[in-house]
Amino acid sequence: MNSFAIIAASGIGKRMQLKEGQSKQLLSIGGYPVIHHTIRAFQQAKSVTAIYIATKEENIPTLEEMAAKSGFTKLKAVIEGGKERQDSVYNCIKAIEGQMRTSGTAPDTILVHDGARPFIQPEEIDEIARLSMQYGACVPANRPKDTIKYIGTDPEFFGATLERSRLLQVQTPQGFSSSLLVQAHEQALLEGWYATDDAALVERFFPEQPVKIFETGYHNIKITTPEDIPVAEAIYSQITSGR
Ligand SMILES: Nc1ccn([C@@H]2O[C@H](COP(=O)(O)OP(=O)(O)OP(=O)(O)O)[C@@H](O)[C@H]2O)c(=O)n1
Ligand SMILES: C[C@](O)(CO)[C@H](O)COP(=O)(O)O
C-alpha cells in the first residue's frame, strides 16, 4: 500500500493558554515534543511512504532538524500552514499534487492527521489506510462517555438531547482515496466552505460516498487544553509500559 500522510501542525494553541513564544506542537510529553511522537507513528506505519507537515513558518527549521536527527526519512516537506486547519491541509495537498506531477504517480490514499494527536499507533494508521483504500474513506472514532445535548434557541438553556448510542466522537487520521480528498478540498475552496474535519467536506460534496467507521480506544486524544498534558503523560506511560 502507498499512503501519503498530511500532518496539520500549524495551530496557535489558543486553548492551551501558552506563554509567548511557546508552541503546542513542541511541548514535551515523556521527554519528547508532541510532534515527535506524531511523526514517529507515521514513520513506523508500513502503509505510509511520504509525510507532509504544515506548521508555522518559525517552526519549519526545528521540524526539519528533528526529522534529520531522528531518522524520519519519510518526511518529504515541511510547509507553512494557513489561517485555518483546512487551509493548512490544503497547502499540503498542493505540495502533494506537485510531487504527483513530478513523479507521474499518485498515492492510493491520503491520511490527514492532527499534529496534536501524538498517541495514534502505527498499526492503527495501517488499518485506517487499508480501510480507506477498501471503502474510499475511513475515519477513526470512539463512543462519547457523556450525554450530549444541543444548546437551545436561548443559548443560556439546553435544547434537545441527542441519542448517545448513535453518536461518535471523531478523530484523526482520516483516510481518503487521493482524488476524493483533493476534489473535496478544491470544491470547498471554490465555495469558501469551512468545516472542522476533512470528512465533513466529503460528506457535503460527495454525499453518496460512504465513510467507514474505525472504532478506536480512548488513547488518541487531541492535546487541546492544559488539563490534557498530565493526561497525555499518563497515556504515554501506559503505552510505553506495554512496549
Ligand atoms: N491554522 C491551523 C489551525 C490548526 N492546525 C492544526 O490542526 C490540529 C487540530 O487543531 P487544534 O488542536 O484545535 O489546535 P489549535 O488550532 O492550535 O488550537 P486552538 O484552537 O486552541 O488555537 C492541530 O494539530 C493544529 O496544529 C493547523 O495546522 N493550522
Ligand atoms: C479534526 C478533528 O480533530 C476531529 O475531531 C477536530 O475537528 C479538530 O478541531 P479543532 O478545532 O481544529 O481542534
- The model's pLDDT over 69-95, given as tens digits with 9 standing for 90+, comes to 999 999 999 999 999 999 999 999 999
Ligand 2 pocket member 220 (CB < 6 A): no
- Taking all residues of the chain, what is their mean pLDDT, rounded to a whole number? 96
Ligand 1 pocket member 116 (CB < 6 A): yes
Indicate the pLDDT class of residue 145, thresholds 50, 70 and 90.
Answer: very high
CB within 8 Å of 165: residues ≥ 6 apart? none
Cell 495501517: give the residue: 126
Q: How far apart are CA 213 and CA 170, in angstroms?
A: 9
Closest CA to 102 of 65, 148, 50, 57: 50
What total number of domains does the chain contain?
1
Q: What angle do CA 71, 139, 83 make, to 5 degrees?
A: 70
Indicate the pLDDT class of residue 104, thresholds 50, 70 and 90.
Answer: confident
Q: Domain of residue 226: give its range.
A: 3-241
pLDDT > 90? residue 138: yes
Ligand 2 pocket member 77 (CB < 6 A): no
Cell 460516498: give the residue: 209
Q: How far apart are CA 202 and CA 152, in angstroms?
A: 28
Ligand 1 pocket member 118 (CB < 6 A): no
Going from the Cα of 45 to the center of ligand 2, the distance in angstroms, rounded, reads 22
* Ligand whose nearest atom lies closest to the CA of 224: 1
**pLDDT at residue number 141:** 98
Helix or strand or coil: residue 164?
helix
Q: What angle do CA 67, 68, 74 make, to 5 degrees?
A: 55
Which atom of ligand 2 lies closest to the CA of 114? 3
**Residue of 185, 222, 223 to test ligand 2 pocket, by largest number of atoms within 8 Å of CB:** 222
pLDDT > 80? residue 113: yes
With a pLDDT cut of 90, the percent of the chain lying above it is 93
Ligand 2 pocket member 198 (CB < 6 A): no
Domain of 187: which CATH number? 3.90.550.10
Q: How far apart are CA 120 and CA 117, in angstroms?
A: 7
Ligand 1 pocket member 88 (CB < 6 A): yes
